[in-house]
Amino acid sequence: MAWSPALTAERIRELLREVKDPEVPVLDIVEMGLVRDVVVEGEGVRVDITPTYSGCPAMEVIEAEVRAALAAHGISGATVRRVFAPAWTTEWMTDAAREKLRAYGIAPPPPGPAEPVAPLGFGPTVRAVSCPFCGSPATVLESTFGSTACKSLHRCEACHQPFEHFKPH
């Protein structure tokens, strides 16, 4: 197998950008902040992944695709390890990823540390989510859970477009 002479963690990270999130195919797993660590040990490669949600069905697909993407570049037998602490947060998503989400029609989570979400579903704590289509802040929450656990369902009162929001987490 043709091992690249310059097989570095950095190079592996570049290759991992070919792996897209199956639920949000415009984003790769690096810009989503899922890749916690890449370790090149001797002839082996280990990739540490932090799952977004405990029950996220995409994780197994992502793990298989990481191995496949590396194998396509001659790196076979990479191990993928799930790391749970510290817990994944939308803060790790890059600004470029947020912009891609918006262009894709999904309102991105706000940048910076995810503010603690109030546990009760009422009161003055509900943050306005701007419409990804027209930018209007006049939107209403339809449901805390959308097509996947990581997204909520909203409707824009200005342009009447329903849309999803990647929840701060």
Partner 1 sequence: MAAASGSSRSSSPDLDLFELLLRLGDDRLVLGHRLSEWCGHGPILEEDIALANIALDLVGQANLFLGLAGTVEGEGRDADALAYFREAVEFRTCRLVELPRGDFGMTMMRQFLFDTWSWHRLGRLRESSHAELAGLAERSRKETTYHLRHSSTWVVRLGDGTEESHARVQRALDDLWWFTGELFVTDEVDARLAERGIAPDPAVLREPWEETVREVLVRATLHAPEVPVVARPARRGDHTEHLGHLLAEMQILARSHPGASW
Residues that bind partner 1 in the complex, under the rule CB under 8 A: 51, 53-57, 84-88, 116-122, 142-149, 153, 167, 169
Report the DSSP beta bridge partners of residue 164: 106, 153
91-100 LR contacts (CB < 8 Å, sep 24+) = 91/33, 92/32, 92/33, 93/31, 93/32, 93/33, 94/31, 94/33, 96/31, 97/27, 97/31, 97/32, 97/33, 100/26, 100/27, 100/31
The distance of closest approach from Cβ of residue 3 to partner 1 in the complex, given in angstroms and rounded to an integer, is: 32
Residue 77: CB atoms within 10 Å: 11
**Considering beta carbons, is residue 1 or 85 the nearer one to partner 1?**
85
- Cβ of residue 73: shortest distance to partner 1, in angstroms? 28
Residue 51 C-beta: closest distance to partner 1, Å: 8
Q: Which amino acid is at 6?
A: A
- CB of 11 or CB of 155, closer to partner 1: 155
CB of 124 to partner 1, least distance (A): 14
Identify the CA nearest to 4 among candidates 104, 80, 76: 76
Whose Cβ is closer to partner 1: residue 42's or residue 121's? 121
